[in-house]
Amino acid sequence: STIVLIFEAPEDFKFSVSTGQKVKVGEALGDV
Amino acid sequence: LANAWKDTPTKWYPLPVFVGALVLTALQYRRRVTEREVHVDENGQEVVRLKGPWQVHVLGALPLRNMSRLWGTVNSMELPVWFRPIGFRLYAWAFGCNIDEADQDDLTQYVSLGDFFYRKLKDGVRPVADTVLVSPADGRMLHFGAITDGRVEQIKGSTYSLDALLGIERPNSPKPTSVAFAARDMAEVDDRTFADINGIEYSLRDFLGTSTPPSPAASGTSTPTADAHDRARAGGLPAPNAKKHGEQIDASVSPDGPLADVVAHEASVAAEMGAQPFLDRARGMSRYAVKPGHGLYFAVIYLAPGDYHRFHSPTAWVVEKRRHFVGDLFSVSPWMVKRLENLFVLNERVALLGRWKYGFFGMVPVGATNVGSIKINFDQALRTNVGARRPPPTGTYSEAVYTAASPILRGQPLTKAEEMGGFCLG
């Protein structure tokens, strides 16, 4: 199963993860 | 022939330049033609078709939906009590589950593999980060980035349409009547007053404790005015936005009863979101109207069979509607993602659409062969992976609007990391 997030954010939004990284519920994905 | 093969020396020489130029031109022409090859229906909507190598077409010929339901039925069978700890430990070992995190220490309490698969976690084992966006699930980041020209990148060089994924109509296509987002809504919401649970009207801005015009910089904490406090108390409402980011509003000032809880919950979400989204709710719903200085982003998280399979809210937001797309149930493993174009548009999925502090927010749980059933906790009417003689054509969806879920936010409010639903076996 997969979850796709689509969202609008300011252009200075930065992802704080890398491709292939394991993540857990509540872990930071990105911030403005 | 043998002598010629052995003895003839290899002699390299350059091709004439015009041959190379001809080949490059042909390749370029072929690429452009392929890029333009988008099938559309009579309404101008893109028709998504199965495209990929032969393995994909072989899989496409299988009755995946029936197989998925059979898999679910088998896994919902009650297991003998003596076998449960052995079986679940074996499963955990094979798929890398951390049983210590499960809320049930006694594995005999899980009656079937499906029950174990949908296990809850102990409180506190997943700390929530203090960022605007957190992971909604345990899994692996497959891909993320910015969306350009309405196309979401599945893998490098392969994209799918955002319109097809979410069911957003093109500007010139006829809109279904249930889609009520228009510029008109923005004007209405801008200075609207709401009747609260006691019939006393109050302004949205007062409720949220914002000045006029609202500051775009409002991010989770805003300063309530004395007037707003008084009015909220007079109307039996919780003090507007009185606490800091992430804290619960003090519900002691609100009347007893379930409705009071709903209002308190809404206020909590509103406090996290800030006031801005309410004034921009219509603009946020379409990629054609992203605010200046903003962009659209995507993130794809893959849940492996051993992962915790419930999902949580990735931010504080309001879900306004859900669109259930009945589709195929291909595997969504990274192997398949690399091979099957438009995988996420072909598969059965539930698009939850709404808004957060920066505008549009959407979350799309996508089903797969082994986990075809998607549950949404606040939507008891939703039924996924249901058998039908003839499934509807790809791209069609049924829609539910959550406007009645809350009197103020006009949608289903969710706080960050709040459990939303999950994937079930079959």
Which site among B132, B302, B340, B353 would you substitute to test the A interface, given the most A Cβ atoms closer than 10 Å to its Cβ?
Answer: B132
Tokens representing residue B87 in the block: 């079986």
- The answer to whether the Cβ–Cβ distance between A8 and B294 falls below 8 Å is yes
Q: Confirm if B275 and B208 have CB atoms less than 8 A apart.
A: yes
Query: Which pLDDT score, from 0 to 100, does residue B222 have?
Result: 29
Query: Which pLDDT score, from 0 to 100, does residue B162 have?
Result: 84
Q: Which residues fall within 8 angstroms of residue B193, CB to CB, at 6 or more apart?
A: B201, B202, B203, B204
- Looking at per-residue confidence, does B270 or A29 come out higher? A29
**Closest of B359, B360, B328, B355 to residue B344, by C-alpha:** B328
Q: Tell me, what DSSP letter sits at residue B127? A: P
For residues B316 and B338, what is the distance between their CA atoms, to the nearest angstrom? 32
- Measured between CA atoms, the residue of chain A closest to residue B287 is A8
**Closest of B406, B413, B422, B418 to residue B313, by C-alpha:** B418
For residues B169 and B163, what is the distance between their CA atoms, to the nearest angstrom? 6
Confirm or reject contact between A14 and chain B (CB < 8 A): no
Query: Which pLDDT score, from 0 to 100, does residue B344 have?
Result: 87
For residues B44 and B40, what is the distance between their CA atoms, to the nearest angstrom? 5
pLDDT surpassing 60 at residue B282: no
Window 365-424 of B, Cβ < 8 Å to A = 365-368, 371, 417, 423
Q: What is the pLDDT of residues B128-181, one digit of tens each?
A: 999 999 999 999 998 899 888 788 887 777 788 888 888 765 444 434 333 333
* Range B383-410 average pLDDT: 79
